[in-house]
Amino acid sequence: MTEHELYDRNGIYSKMLYKNFDVPQFLSKISKAKIQKLASDSIPCIIVHGGAGEIVDSEVVEKVFACQKSASIGYKILLNGGNSIEAIEAALWWLENDEYFNCGYGSALNELGDVQMDACLMDGTRSICGSVAAVSDIEHPISLAKFVMENYPNTIVVGDGAKTLANCAGMNWLSKGTMVAPTVHRNKDKPQYTSENSFADLTKKKYGTVGCIAWDGFTMAVGTSTGGLHNKNVGRVGDSPLLGCGTFANSEAGCSLTGQGESIIKLGMSRWWNSTTKMWLLEILLHYF
């Protein structure tokens, strides 16, 4: 399969072959030269992803449109003088409202049938961050992660502590079950991850974790929001809110990952990516993901 054949007529990256496994991807085709020029000229730019894994045909249009809309919302903020953090929060807000993504309203259910979300936001230029994990009954965990980053002495807050903090942030608790979207019931009976599951099995599951990287000309930032694995154990925390695992940024690059969280955590993958130069990371994103 040639590089040209990987893209459809609309410029959507249709699939990637990795060690003989088909990994569905839905990424806008972007010229490497264009990205390099944007970075060198300090022109604001933003990248949004909607997760990896199996995407049913009936959801393709919705997911692609939602990612485009999300990126557009964030980009308008950058063009109007907003900073990277504001752009990421706004972009991920849109996806957290969309039931077709595994975050916010569309979050996967845990073993008890409840929503349990993780989110992280990091300003790589200032090396500050905020995360929430295993939090329920709030509408926008990415906004709570931002509140932690900007107003709280600790880096990560979990469970009931995060819900209590939501009151301080002016976020209302929602009634139990309010965040359960109709679409998640299709996936409720999928098996949990086990060490016996192969890579091929994992890629067929629905990983709809969302992420965003933004550059406002001065600040590199990244955000990730997720509902975690389907049927996960109560209290399970994935890679997304863990700095250096699913989310990380420095002054040169940002990285938001999606996939099988336990493997990402063991590798400390996002920090590893960011230990390289910005241009090398862009090379990887353009040609392998």
Question: If you average pLDDT over residues 113-133, what whole number do you get?
Answer: 95
Sequence-ordered strand ranges (E) for 55-189:
117-123, 128-135, 156-158
User: Is 259 a known ligand-binding residue?
Assistant: yes
Give the pLDDT band (50/70/90) at residue 167: confident
The CA distance from 41 to 74, in Å, is 19
Question: If you average pLDDT over residues 47-58, what whole number do you get?
Answer: 83
Residue 19 has pLDDT above 50, yes or no: no
User: Is 223 a known ligand-binding residue?
Assistant: no
Residues 228-253: tens digit of each pLDDT: 988 889 999 999 999 989 999 988 88
Poorest-confidence range of 5-9, 39-43, 60-64? 5-9
Cα 120 to Cα 133, 148, 226, 264: the distances in Å are 9, 9, 9, 15
Helices first, then strands: H and E counts in the chain: 9, 10
- Res 196: pLDDT: 43
Supply the residues annotated as catalytic.
209
The alpha-helical segments, DSSP class H, found in 134-277 are 141-151, 159-168, 199-203, 261-267, 269-274
Q: State what percent of residues in the chain have pLDDT above 70.
A: 71
User: Is 239 a known ligand-binding residue?
Assistant: yes
User: Is 238 a known ligand-binding residue?
Assistant: yes
Residue type, 49: H
Residue 69 has pLDDT above 90, yes or no: yes
The CA distance from 44 to 119, in Å, is 24
Dihedral angle computed from the Cα positions of residues 6, 257, 150 and 43, in that order, rounded to the nearest 10 degrees = -30
Whether 149 contacts 129, CB under 8 Å? yes
In sequence order, which residues have a C-beta less than 8 Å from that of residue 199 and are 6 or more positions away? 19, 21
Residue 225 has pLDDT above 90, yes or no: yes
Residue type, 92: L
| Beta-bridge partner residues of 131 | 120, 156
User: Is 25 a known ligand-binding residue?
Assistant: no
Residues 179-218: tens digit of each pLDDT: 888 876 555 544 444 444 443 444 345 557 999 999 999 9
- Res 267: pLDDT: 80
- Res 29: pLDDT: 41
User: Is 116 a known ligand-binding residue?
Assistant: no
Q: Which of 2-16, 32-46, 171-185 has the highest mean pLDDT?
A: 171-185
